[in-house]
Structure 1
Amino acid sequence: MPVTNSESDKSPWNKGKLVGQKAPLKPPEVWAIRVRLELANRRRDLALFNLAVDSKLRGCDLLRIRVSDVRTGGEIRRGAKILQSKTGNPVQFEVTKCTRNSIEAWCSFSKLQSHDWLFPSRKDRKRHLTTRQYARLVERWVGAIDLPRSSYATHSMRRTKATLIHRKTGNLRAVQLLLGHTKIDSTVRYLGVEVEDALALAESIEL
């Protein structure tokens, strides 16, 4: 049966692309991307990149953030709470100084108001960036520092800080809360924790 135009338009944006667990960024890679975005004076991309790393949000939730979600009385807050579209549950995250500065610079440059999307579409400010556009930006960011684009995607942004926190603390419950997972099993799978990792953590605890 032939596919109609309406059906073909509904094809997933990543159809035909390599899928699977995507790698998180390492701290030197995060800073390398930041430096490139700063040097290129790409205010929006820098604010989006920094907030993606800090918030650990899914792309769909990250792009639906309004200025009022992160700014109060002209000041960028040190933390925020967002309702997840997937679960309907709130998730909290910190907003580091580096991220606050980049968001403030972007809001000031774009003259964004409280009710505006934090990352509006350039064609229509009543709409926010799409997940497809976000995915293209991530590809551009990792490609700029010579990382293999097929190994990274938007979920790399979500996994970056969560993976680092887990490696430093071994606290799966904390990471579960930060990611907004309802089940710890989801966090284990998401981080790619193996049996060997779990045993190593257990052996490091003395009773």
Structure 2
Amino acid sequence: MNVVSPIRDKKQLEAVKGYLRGKNKRDYLLFMIGISSALRISDILRLKVEDVWTGKKPVEYVDLHEKKTGKYKRFPVTPNLSKAIKEYMTEYSPAQDQFLFVSRVGENKPITRQYASMMLNEACDMVGITEPFGTHGMRKTWGYWAFKQNISLDYISLALNHRSVAETKRYLGLLQEDLDNIYLQVNL
């Protein structure tokens, strides 16, 4: 398994959003859910239209049981995510029982993890991101920006369903960042 990184630069994050939004609203919504929810790609791809859309407007909260852990997860639909959902629904008008990220291949099947990874890597390449990203990078991006906004690592750890804060620090690359800063501070 390749280690992926979060998007640490706000301009690059906005550039990925802009690229995907202009290219394909489905892929843009996938990215927006990924960076807004801290969900794993396996959970994102299982979402149905009814999980995010009432038929007239976005839901207030998305509720699900995580595939990997079986744990219940709930997250609010943020204003930015709500806007992305509305744009998607306006363009595609999918049925409520349809997969949200339906593939063009097969009848009501979601896109594959491989397609999602390829699409995200292409978007990152197009905006000049050189660090490895992939589907898990969306989850890491959420955690990284939560930390940068001074959200307690205890809460971030809970949101990511990690066993400990130390695991979350390793996961987000904060331990290495801290170690790098220590070396720079010592500067003998």
The TM-score with structure 2 as length reference comes to 0.85
User: In the alignment, which of 2, 13, 16 is matched to residue 30 of structure 1?
Assistant: 13
Q: Which runs of 5 or more structure 2 residues have no equivalent in the other structure?
A: 182-188
Q: Which residue of 2 aligns with 1:123?
A: 105
The answer to whether residue 159 in structure 2 is matched with residue 178 in structure 1 is yes
Q: Distance in 1 between matches of 2:13 and 2:79?
A: 15
Q: Which residue of 1 aligns with 2:92?
A: 110
Once the 2 structures are TM-superposed, how far is the Cα of residue 85 of structure 1 from its aligned partner? 0.6
Q: Which residue of 1 aligns with 2:186?
A: none
Q: Distance in 1 between matches of 2:106 and 2:34?
A: 22
Q: Distance in 2 between matches of 1:78 and 1:117?
A: 19
> What is the letter of the counterpart of residue 85 of structure 1?
K
Once the 2 structures are TM-superposed, how far is the Cα of residue 121 of structure 1 from its aligned partner? 0.8
- Cα offsets for 1:74-129 (capped at 9, x unmatched): 21023212211111001222322222122222123222121111101111242111
Q: Distance in 1 between matches of 2:176 and 2:13?
A: 28
- Cα offsets for 1:125-172 (capped at 9, x unmatched): 421111111111111110110222x62111111111211111331511
**Aligned runs of 1:13-28 on 2, under 5 Å?**
19-20=2-3, 22-25=4-7, 26-28=9-11
RMSD (Å) for aligned C-alpha atoms: 2.2
What count of residue pairs does the alignment treat as equivalent?
179
Q: Which residue of 1 aligns with 2:184?
A: none
Q: Distance in 2 between matches of 1:117 and 1:136?
A: 20
**Aligned runs of 1:1-207 on 2, under 5 Å?**
19-20=2-3, 22-25=4-7, 26-40=9-23, 42-148=24-130, 151-169=132-150, 171-194=152-175, 197=178
CA contact under 8 A between 2:49 and 2:94: conserved in structure 1? yes
CA contact under 8 A between 1:91 and 1:179: conserved in structure 2? no
Q: Distance in 2 between matches of 1:80 and 1:154?
A: 20
> 1:168 and 1:139, CA in 2 relative to 1: closer, same or farther beyond 3 A?
same
Partner SS, residue 24 of structure 1: coil
Partner SS, residue 93 of structure 1: strand
> 1:78 and 1:72, CA in 2 relative to 1: closer, same or farther beyond 3 A?
same
CA contact under 8 A between 1:91 and 1:180: conserved in structure 2? no
> 1:39 and 1:126, CA in 2 relative to 1: closer, same or farther beyond 3 A?
closer
Once the 2 structures are TM-superposed, how far is the Cα of residue 195 of structure 1 from its aligned partner? 8.2
* Highest RCO, 1 vs 2 (Cα 8 Å, sep ≥ 6): 2
Q: Which residue of 1 aligns with 2:185?
A: none
Once the 2 structures are TM-superposed, how far is the Cα of residue 197 of structure 1 from its aligned partner? 4.0
Q: Distance in 2 between matches of 1:181 and 1:45?
A: 27
The TM-score with structure 1 as length reference comes to 0.77
CA contact under 8 A between 2:48 and 2:100: conserved in structure 1? yes
> What is the letter of the counterpart of residue 158 of structure 2?
L
Larger radius of gyration: 1
Partner SS, residue 169 of structure 1: coil
Hey, which bits of structure 1, 4+ residues long, moved more than 6 A? Answer: none
